[in-house]
Structure 1
């Protein structure tokens, strides 16, 4: 038995990628992604929308900001686990909504939002900053399976009187939507005095005070990676998209730069509001603060995407799922490889997409550095078919009485039988999918072979 266990240790290597914690997700917030997004969404850098190279220079409501909305839709469509809705609520008003449905509590909704319209060209702080922050949080959280439903909302016509948010809030209340909290982001990239202060605007409506307390607690919990100082503004301003949710007695707060301390962007509501005025380090921390809250409220319930290698076989830990193996180097799916195991014939990097209850998570890329077949001795036996589903056939070169024992990956003996036959069949249909070992022992020899049960 000791020999079997040592062989298993020799054969197996694994990478554990499941169970992302909140700090992991905070750390994934990318300052380079945020910078790139700000430059694109404020028109400083061109991009591709509808297969055409464009500049999103103007997002002014009622003069045709469909280009900005189309860009948001295409960016969201590139992400996993999201349902995209174009909420056209008037002849010119168009909200863009992305819903990530919870697998445990789908009716419990946490909404993160901001307006994407503007009053002039560029308008990087107002409110490309909030829009790009939501996109970055969606990019990261959409790779996770969540217990509760997350709605990523991009409002139109805020600058004309909170029209997009009001339309949605009124409709949500009429439907009886169980919106647990609304985190509104509006102007969150300017820190003129470099003190890292920001405002949480709140009023004693529904559970908004509790929501504010939760945000402050998270700031204290993750203060080693989020360098911010909070100001509580109560009663908070009614002049942004949280207000329509307060009007419907929903829990909501506004998170933004420190207007309460007169640290206001000098280019507010002008075409001088450009990326060069954004403090990227401060903005990065603000987005990490929002990530901490949304990830906490989402309730991360990861699929088990740990991968184990044995010889030329890879296996993902998660059972009872839908699988798709991916070649990381070619950045494409491996056609027809939809089982829990993957037989590999070349060194490289491989990943697997695991779908459970409609939610897909992708493992980290697993690097294969060896294709050692891992057979222990020069073989006098053959084992087939491998992988197998129902029966395992062992073919031998002698007719000496032999014992045949099946062990799982931990070395536990699962079944045994004796035979003199040169062809011996062992039923394995009752075994779970995974790696196993067959030991063939006679008075003169002992051999061990690995096999896979599909």
Structure 2
């Protein structure tokens, strides 16, 4: 009966244009979500204490977040901290960027807050943090067409201060404005230890401005379909409210989100602890989130492409064709000092420059080169990466 109901619900989604087909290679990645990792990370998050603004616990949690991402293979160049004033203290958002292969300037954001209020917040929002960890770990070495920003916000419990600051000072301050495909927020997905947790709430935009509501509805129905394809969870469609996607929604971005169906009575109390939640539920949500992010970012299904992607340290040069400014994505290279050259078809070096203290994305002015095909070459003290580039 359950399989029949699943088939019928999937048929409904497909008839509305929201469905996705099952991708075996995506399922292979989803199957690598680790229940052990979930439990270990929830325990570590809880042990870090009450993560209130201005506390050592909040800073220690930020340090823990950074160490975790680095352990997955992300580099210091891919990690950025954004400071903001929260009351009388300074807090930080942590952003981890993975550059896409086809649309490097368009981002899928997956986010959740790491600050807590009153209690240790193992559910609200340690559960979201550890879910994002698993997605980041599993997608680290997989080429995705769209870029990803994994964001851990602070200041959520003080009125979405961190996410509002990020939208104002980063998203809208980027020139041109940051291009966001969608924002996927994960907040309080730990369930209840005293209940059966087999359903996840999928949240869509129903507020103002209304111009982004239809797109949010499409994306949320895609999230529902992915959840049903890649996890054992049932889904419940609801509306977005009071979490870090709201400043994005107000900015006319497309949002969606996960929130637990059985809502905890321990939120914002000293009893928001692992003993009162369901880590297996978090494990299943991590599977659903991983499947959804593989879909949203259009992850590669080719082993050959993945091998080439990682053999080149995820380094890329874009755009191609290029006119005046070429961007170098440092990928997972840890060397921040390199030389960059352009070689023409006769093997002559026609452009060369040295880059010191390179950012993750480094713009290189190459105006003046003749139109044609070139070999773009990045060289460090012990690595050489070359790719064909067209100048128009």
Q: How does the TM-score come out when normalised to structure 2?
A: 0.67
Cα deviation, 1:197-253, whole Å, max 9, x if unaligned, reads: 22122224522111111011213333xxx12121111xx242111111110000112
Q: Does 1:227 align with 2:232?
A: yes
2:195 to 193, 197, 207: 193
Q: Which residue of 2 aligns with 1:253?
A: 256
Q: Does 1:69 align with 2:62?
A: yes
Check the 8 A contact 1:42/1:123 in 2, yes or no. yes
Looking at secondary structure, tell me which structure has more strand per residue: 1
1:153 partner SS: strand
Check the 8 A contact 2:74/2:140 in 1, yes or no. yes
Deviation at 1:61, TM superposition (A): 1.9
Deviation at 1:122, TM superposition (A): 2.1
Q: Which residue of 2 aligns with 1:281?
A: 280
Q: Which residue of 1 aligns with 2:374?
A: none
Q: Which residue of 2 aligns with 1:37?
A: 41
Deviation at 1:297, TM superposition (A): 1.7
| Alpha-carbon distance in 2 for matches of 1:143, 1:245 | 28
Identify if the C-alpha distance between structure 1 residues 277 and 299 changes in structure 2 by more than 3 Å, giving closer, same or farther. Answer: same
| Alpha-carbon distance in 2 for matches of 1:301, 1:195 | 32
Identify if the C-alpha distance between structure 1 residues 280 and 66 changes in structure 2 by more than 3 Å, giving closer, same or farther. Answer: same
1:92 partner SS: strand
Query: How many residues get paired?
Result: 282
| Structure 1 unmatched runs, 5+ | 1-18, 44-55, 307-316, 324-352, 362-454
1:156 to 142, 154, 157: 154
Deviation >4 Å, runs of 4+: 302-306, 353-356, 358-361
Identify if the C-alpha distance between structure 1 residues 220 and 254 changes in structure 2 by more than 3 Å, giving closer, same or farther. Answer: closer
Aligned-residue RMSD, C-alpha: 2.5
Q: Which residue of 2 aligns with 1:184?
A: 185
If asked which structure has higher relative contact order (CA below 8 Å, sep 6+), I would say 2
Q: How does the TM-score come out when normalised to structure 1?
A: 0.58
Looking at secondary structure, tell me which structure has more helix per residue: 2
Pairs within 5 Å for 1:396-411: none
Check the 8 A contact 2:26/2:301 in 1, yes or no. no
Q: Which residue of 1 aligns with 2:135?
A: 137
| Alpha-carbon distance in 1 for matches of 2:233, 2:154 | 29
| Structure 2 unmatched runs, 5+ | 1-22, 317-329, 334-392
| Alpha-carbon distance in 2 for matches of 1:188, 1:215 | 15
Deviation at 1:135, TM superposition (A): 1.1
Q: Which residue of 2 aligns with 1:269?
A: 268
Q: Which residue of 2 aligns with 1:290?
A: 289
1:215 partner SS: helix
2:93 partner SS: strand
Deviation at 1:79, TM superposition (A): 2.6
Cα deviation, 1:24-77, whole Å, max 9, x if unaligned, reads: 11101110000000000111xxxxxxxxxxxx1121123341111111111112
Check the 8 A contact 1:303/1:354 in 2, yes or no. no
